[in-house]
Amino acid sequence: LLAALWPLLRPGGRLLYATCSILHEENAGVIRRFMASRSDAMLAVPPAGLPAWLRSVGGTGWQALPGDAGTDGLYYALMARGSD
């Protein structure tokens, strides 16, 4: 999905990747592989005021584990497209 949508994003545009999974292979692993394949992909600065129960995941995104704030678990990464 990322590879298909990325070309539609204008330079400077942002894309939010989110899952309801806590598995590394579906979250940080996907983002690391995607960013390694695209020289114009970078992590965007997250919005201010993220809830304390969201944890940074190795510099690739943020995650909540099952039970955090009544969630089943989730992950998101905010990426920005630079110049080609």
- Residue 49 φ/ψ region, left for φ over 0, alpha for ψ in the -120 to 50 degree band, beta for the rest: left
Is residue 20 part of the annotated active site? The answer reads yes
Backbone angles phi, psi at 62, to 5 degrees: -135, 150
Tokens of 22: 């806590």
Catalytic residue among 16, 18, 20, 42: 20
Which residues participate in catalysis according to the annotation?
20
